[in-house]
A and B are shown apart, each in its own frame.
Chain A
Amino acid sequence: MTRGIEKKYVQLLRDYLAGQGEDQLYDAQQLGKWLLLQDISPEEMIDLHGRALEYLGDVPEFVRASFSILTEVMIEYGNEHRSVTSMRSKHKQFQSEMAVASAMQKSLVPQELPVYPDVEIGLVSVAAKQISGDYYNIVTHDDGRLCLTISDITGKGISAAMCMSMLKYAMESLGDMLHGPDEMLRHLNRVVERNIDPSMFVTMLFGCYDTQKHRFRYAVAGHEPGFVYRAKEGRFYDMEGKGMALGICSDSHYQEYEVHLDVGDVLILLTDGVTERKIGRYYLHRDELVSYLEAELGTSAQVMADNLYSKLLLLSQFELPDDYTMMILRRT
């Protein structure tokens, strides 16, 4: 500790003892902040106070001796202080590693959405924390097929991110060899089952949309299927679909489902971060979600997805406890 601090402290103490004003107390508080910035430990502060007293008058021996006890106790506080400082720098390092992981994860999903003359795609995917447990993908094929994946990986953070890259590359390598979505999930299940921790699993909806025939063929693995809006009837229907989540059982089989979209029909795919949401004291009801979807029907797929996200975020008081992904396909 420098002489300067000591002098400053003695002066402050002297001023305070002369008048006992709130001014000096305020200065002392500010000094505390500054001393912390200078990394002055609690025990050094005790020592400083002891030395300062010697400048101000005759210090009784018992007061002087009592500082030894105080110092000894404060060393433990000092250790804790030093430990927090070191943890803080480790935390910073950890945060920057997380930022790298987060950026890497973003590179696993498509950077832009494909454009078709009579099909609109809207997408909102937001991570609750830095790393998302939701995975989605949109892959276009030369034959006019548009393959969509929407998926939720149990657990969040690094384990989800690592699982996600496995999903992406497994799907890419399987992609060209397979026939239907049911086959895709069956193979993917075997990859996932063999390679992830038994405590984890993945829910997924995978499907291919034929942009010529406007037919969506899909299969479901433990994933909540979305909605289909029928413009002619002005009604929403739950998409059908059942199947075991990926990674649970090595020989799961999946069924293929099909929906056909007419002009004005809308397909809404989502993860449970959209539906499992607390609004005040109760959970969002599926019917309510449908009514919010209904309110946005006149807009483009992207505006619809954006508005719905804002609406739900507002309803849950800007809390996003789970990763949120919604994909909207609208035939125009």
Chain B
Amino acid sequence: MAELYPETIKIDSVADIVAARQVGRNMSRQLGFGTIMQSRMATTISELARNIFLYAGEGTITITPIEREGAIGLQITALDAGPGIADIRKVLEDGYSTSGALGAGLPGVRRMMDEFDIQSALGEGTKVIVVKWRS
């Protein structure tokens, strides 16, 4: 994994979402994730990037190969300076994900990933960090 470096993709169009997916898929393939996991990674990136695009207008997705105690994984960080999420517990509830509102799709992302962290402040923005470890 010597040749893999973190990559940050600026998100402000649908084309950027596609580009971020591509980077995530390629990097997870290079890290040795199976095909399903590559697709789940792409889906995760899609959801996070779409939230940025639809509700914050712009932001970044950073995809980082990580290593911790011998385990290899991929970390995705979504960052925006958008409206922020008022009730984080609410957006992580199942059923909310079908509402199409800000944060929709996050319960699905949380279940596909091994680690999930979200920080958000109203009027300041949102930061979501997820990690998937290669099993």
B-binding residues in A (CB < 8 A) = 43-44, 47, 68, 71-72, 75-76, 79, 82-83, 86-87, 90
Contacts and interface: CB of A to CB of B under 8 A. Distances in A.
B125 interface: no
A223 B82 CA distance: 55
B2 interface: no
B35 A71 contact: yes
B39 A75 contact: yes
B111 A72 contact: no
Contacts of B36: 43-44, 47, 71
Contact of B111 (A43, A47, A76, A86): A86
B74 interface: no
A87 B35 CA distance: 27
B96 to A, nearest CB: 10
A68 B39 CA distance: 8
A87 B39 CA distance: 24
30 contacts: A43-B36, A43-B39, A43-B40, A44-B36, A47-B34, A47-B36, A68-B39, A71-B35, A71-B36, A71-B39, A72-B39, A72-B42, A72-B43, A75-B39, A75-B40, A79-B43, A79-B97, A79-B111, A79-B112, A82-B108, A82-B111, A83-B94, A83-B95, A83-B97, A83-B107, A83-B111, A86-B94, A86-B107, A87-B95, A90-B94
A83 B97 CA distance: 9
Contacts of A72: 39, 42-43
Nearest to A83: B94
Interface in B82-110: 94-95, 97, 107-108
B97 to A, nearest CB: 7
Contacts of A75: 39-40, 43
Contacts of A44: 36
Nearest to A67: B35
